[in-house]
Amino acid sequence: MGGSTFGTILRLTVFGESRGNEIGAVLDGLESGFPIDSAAMNTMLRRRRPSQSSASTSRIESDEFEITSGVLDGKTTGAPICIVIPNRDCNSDNAADTLMRFARPGHADLPYHLRYCNCDHRGGGRASGRLTAAIVAAGSIAIQILSSKGIEINCQVTSVGGIRGNENNQDDRNAWESLVQMYRSKGETVGGTVSCRATGIPAGIGEPLFDKLDAVISHAVMSIPAIKGIEFGSGFGCEFNSGSTNDGPLMSGGVLGGLSDGTELSFRAAVKPVPTTDVPVEATDLGNMMKRTMTFNERHDWCICFRICPVVEAMTALSILDLWYQQHGR
């Protein structure tokens, strides 16, 4: 199974499955001598963990991590950093046996089965959002290094179920919470959008033609489970603009010709509703490939938007730092 590594000079490899013993990441290509802040890593992992809100899954993982290589006396050695995160709350629930026999609509179960045959798709397996904990752990190191270079990254929820708002506004959060509750009462999930901004990026970061800054970030962010679209600056709205209007300073999203232009980098990403619901769906029997109406009684999130923000920050940081190393070295 390929496709588990991202990056050119700075390379991230993610391993494990949703219901396996552990997940983890190997981060190769970092500079030597950088002090790792484990507390900052824990803070970022906490943001990704399920909360007590009605939007989150009942599966609770502590995300306690262990760095097994690449760090000596709290500083990077330049060798690959291996981060291991045990799966504590992964006891197979009532749906475990069913998940090995039936493919759920909207999930990767069917194409994974057709491609790999022998794969563990319990809880989504390799396609599960559970693996994003490893991404966040590794990405938090990249965020720390970028911060030392004056680059800061922040991602926030900007809409849930079509209702736009500000994550820092309690009234907006209450409205989103009520909307999630409404969907949940019907056994349904709901999606939304998140916006990410990065400040302090000097002009010229990116590599034309095929490693443009926005292209690399798009690759990274679209690799996150549940992300279904991305736009920089005016994005798809540019079809309504004239040329001179679209030349405005806020329209480019901080990228021109694939290179950073020295202004704030900004993009928006679409987050799909979690495909696992509590309503009957048409599943595929993997034994005879026949359709069957079923209900899957699984633990799942009702809205993943809030938990996905640190994952977007992590993948954005890994992208920018990789391109930084390509231009400036380590």
Angle between helix 213-222 and 305-328 (nearest 10): 140
Cα separation values, 154 from 163, 235, 312, Å: 21, 19, 9
Give the pLDDT confidence of 11-24 residue by residue, as tens digits: 999 999 987 889 99
Mean pLDDT of the chain: 92
CA distances 6 to 84, 190, 235, 269, 276, Å, are: 18, 29, 25, 19, 27
* pLDDT of 33 above 80: yes
The least confident of 3-12, 34-43, 214-223, 238-247 is 238-247
pLDDT at 147: 99
CA–CA separation, 25 vs 23, rounded Å?
A: 7
Residues 6 or more apart in contact with residue 7 via CB below 8 angstroms = 29, 318, 322
Confidence class of residue 190 from pLDDT cuts 50, 70 and 90? very high
Average pLDDT score over residue span 101-117? 89
Residue 142: which CATH number? 3.60.150.10
Provide the domain count of the chain: 1
pTM over 0.85: yes
pLDDT at 1 > cutoff 90: no
313 or 104: which leads in pLDDT: 313
**What mean pLDDT comes out for the span 291-305?**
89
Tens digit of each residue's pLDDT (9 = 90 or more) over 259-288: 999 999 999 999 999 998 999 999 999 999
Residue-level pLDDT at 117: 84
For residue 298, what pLDDT is reported?
A: 79
Q: Is the pLDDT of residue 93 over 70?
A: no
Q: Residue 90 above 80 pLDDT?
A: no
pLDDT tens-digit map of 141-170: 999 999 999 999 999 999 999 999 999 999
Q: State residue 123's pLDDT score.
A: 67
Q: Which domain holds residue 211?
A: 5-328
**Token output for 141:** 């190191």
